[in-house]
Structure 1
Amino acid sequence: MKTTLNIDDHVMQRLREAAARQGRTMSELVEAGLRRVLDEVEEGTDQVREPLPQWQSGGAYVDVADRDALQDRMERD
């Protein structure tokens, strides 16, 4: 299944490097990591982690699902 995720640039760079070192795809590593986290949760062994940072983005200028509106906004800025 294909999906879109927002991943921190530093994490993405580490993922690329790890995939290259191991001769695996980034998708393989992401899936393996997700499986590991989900297995920990199911087994009740997941550790308490610090909450992820949050911020106010100021809201969206345009509905990203509306391609025409998105294109218009991108051309304006």
Structure 2
Amino acid sequence: MSNIITLSLTKEDKEFLLNNSGLSPTSMLRSKINEVRESRSDLKKQLNLCQNNSLKLNSIIREQGSEIEELKKKLKNEN
């Protein structure tokens, strides 16, 4: 499976590419594609961290829920 990236350029982006004498439009697009890839990679890392934190929090919530249920049972038995 291949990944296809479609870029939409604003009028300003197109003008910048045409007027920038230092880099060709192709080089500019390659640069933008690399920026997008790096950004996507960073977002994937952040998502992974969020998912791990979510799993940890869910585990803590389950543990505390169990402790609360045990305390409720003890209180019932004492009364």
Which of 1 and 2 has greater Rg?
A: 2
Q: Counting helix residues as a fraction of each chain, which structure ranks higher? A: 2
Same fold (TM over 0.5): no
Scaled to the shorter chain, the TM-score interval is 0.3 to 0.5
| TM-score after normalising by structure 2 | 0.34
**Larger RCO, structure (CA 8 Å, separation 6 or more):** 1
